[in-house]
Amino acid sequence: MGRTTTDVQPTPTAPEPPKSQAPAPLHPEIHSVVKLTIAHAHKIYFSGPLVRLIEREADGQRPTKDEGWIDVWAQLGGTTLSIWDMKEIQEASKQGREVPPTYVNVMDAVRPCYFSTKTYLDDFFSLFKS
């Protein structure tokens, strides 16, 4: 749709597993559920360019500065969405530094997107983040 991406992309990172001591033995019936949950948390489901529009801040108010649609690089690993602003990545790359992402836990944050026309759009989604 006329959007281009740059060759500068963040390095994909999977969420780190928590460090702990030896786990307690699991009951055989729950072992497969725990194994699946751990695998889900470390799987990368998406990594690539997106465009983002911030309609509301965490407090429910409209942003003081309307930036419109901005290019971002996003990675969904498990239930964590990591988002990097592409302009910040390009500026940091020129200075030889890295930009930390913004993290969003999408477990309960995603909802269908309806615009003022009440039309449901499959290729859009909304995130509520506080």
Residue 8 lies in a domain: no
Looking at this protein, which amino acid is placed at residue 99?
V
Residue 82 lies in a domain: yes
Instruction: Kindly state the tokens that stand for 26.
Output: 């699991």
Residue 84 lies in a domain: yes
Instruction: Kindly state the tokens that stand for 7.
Output: 């060759």
Confidence of residue 1 (pLDDT cuts 50, 70, 90): very low
Residue 86 burial by CB count (10 A; 0-12/13-18/19+): exposed, middle or buried? Answer: buried
Tell which residue, 75, 77, 73, has the closest CA to residue 16. Answer: 77
Residue 17 lies in a domain: no
Tell which residue, 49, 48, 39, 45, has the closest CA to residue 17. Answer: 39
Query: pLDDT (tens digit, 9 = 90+) per residue, 59-97?
Result: 778 888 888 889 999 999 888 889 999 999 999 999 999
Query: pLDDT (tens digit, 9 = 90+) per residue, 21-36?
Result: 666 777 888 888 888 8
- Tell me which residue range forms the domain holding 64: 46-127
Instruction: Please give the average per-residue pLDDT across 48-62, as a whole number.
Output: 82
What's the pLDDT score for residue 71?
93
The structure tokens 């615009």 sit at 115
Q: Taking all residues of the chain, what is their mean pLDDT, rounded to a whole number?
A: 76
Q: Provide the domain count of the chain.
A: 1
DSSP string, 60-120: SPPPSS---SEEEEEEEETTEEEEEEHHHHHHHHHHT---PPEEEE-TTTEE--B-TT--B
Q: How many residues does the chain have?
A: 130
